Amino acid sequence: MLNLNSPDDNRNSLQDPVSLNVGGEIYTTTLDTLTRCRDSMLGAMFTGQIPVLRDNKGNVFIDRDGKVFRYILNYLRSSSLDLPDGFSELTLLRREADFFQIRPLLEEIRRYEASVPLSLRGGPLGAMIIVNVDSKVCHLML
């Protein structure tokens, strides 16, 4: 990895389009999209407040979950949280949104969590109660 700390490197490296290597997944987008939430970590990275790293192919490297980053990038593009039916990585997405400090996305995730069944939020699917009644064990599934 190369650390782009010199002003010349940062100026030349942060031009549209921007190619990102996020955990091995390659994404291409614009500086406008990446800086949409200026107070986020991505906003800081792509306005020069935080130095960026590059992989050996010249992509900006971010050591985070590459597959879930897709939803973060799409949120920045559209200001809408669009998840597929049955999306099961909500906990990971929330963690990544928190890492990148994208507050509006975190709010959208909270609203989404409140609207989906518990089974898709990573919570228990049900509960089992075992009752001992007069030396007989009964199993009740809730």
Domain boundaries, the chain: 2-141
Per-residue model confidence (pLDDT) at position 141 = 57
Look up residue 126 and give its two tokens: 């049900």
Q: Rounded distance, CA 14 to CA 43, Å?
A: 12
Question: How sure is the predictor about 8, in pLDDT bands with cuts at 50, 70 and 90?
Answer: very low
pLDDT digits (tens, 9 = 90+) for 64-107: 999 999 999 999 999 999 999 989 999 999 999 999 999 999 99
Preceding omega of 17 cis (within 30 degrees of 0): yes
Query: How far is Cα 80 from Cα 94, in angstroms, rounded to an integer?
Result: 15
| Residues 84, 122: Cα–Cα separation, whole Å | 16
CA distance linking residue 121 with residue 112, whole number of Å:
9
Q: Domain 2-141: what homologous superfamily? A: Potassium Channel Kv1.1; Chain A (3.30.710.10)
Question: What SS3 state is found at 3?
Answer: strand
> Could you give phi then psi for residue 33, rounded to 5 degrees?
-65, -45
Beta bridge partners of 61: 21, 53
pTM, 2 dp? 0.73
